[in-house]
Amino acid sequence: MLAATSAKDEAAAPNVEGCHRSTKSTVLETGAALTQDFSPLKSVCAHLNAFHVYASDPTRIVETNHYCGHLTEDVRQCLLYDSPSPGARLIGIEYMITPALYETLDQAERRLWHSHVFEVKSGMLVMPQPSALVPQAAWEQAEHAEMEEVIKLYGKVYHLWQVDRGDKLPLGEPQLMTSITAAEQVPRLEEKMDQRDARFDSGVDWRRKRELRKDLQEIEVHPDADFTWKK
């Protein structure tokens, strides 16, 4: 437990203001973990990784780790972190809904949501393999099934911590984010995806995933979605 706590502090220290946690804080945290339920967090069923850009300034791109769970068959909610490490910062939230729910929204609201078609088909959106001990074929099958669902969904994202600026605290107002819908929108996108893939231990290769997903059926994206790229 102490080793895990130390790893968390070491991971967070370069990026977050404040001192390492005291022994008292560590003991209280450990006790809370043993005695409380944390039911909402237990609903998380998928770790996804992709890139977001700021709706107000799409030249700013942020790699984001999503930890998602279902509320209903039509609504998902995700906690967003800047890394999958123990000291990761909670930087935002994303909601995902089905086209049937999206169609019920008014135009102003629809313009806040983005599609996932390019994220999925390009191989940019990945479900990182948790361990090399998990058979790659089985994991790819599970990931493919997940992508069959996500490609249909619309997402609304707000980032609360502008980590790309180097902020060591969550400063300023929440920032509406959006997805990438074409490779040319982000300079050197393939290079960024290569660098992302290299940070994971196994099973992440966006080029291979792009090939495996060629058969996935795309939705017809609503004209009000992805509004950042249409202004």
What angle do helix axes 2-12 and 23-35 make, rounded to 10 degrees?
Answer: 110
Q: CA distances (Å), 89 to each of 6, 7, 13, 208, in order?
A: 16, 14, 11, 29
Digit-coded pLDDT (tens) for 174-227? 999 999 999 999 999 999 999 999 999 777 999 999 999 999 999 999 999 999
Q: Report whether pLDDT(139) > 80.
A: yes
pTM: 0.86
Whether the CA torsion 68, 51, 99, 220 is positive or negative: it is negative
Q: Report whether pLDDT(117) > 70.
A: yes
Mean pLDDT calculated for residue range 24-34: 53
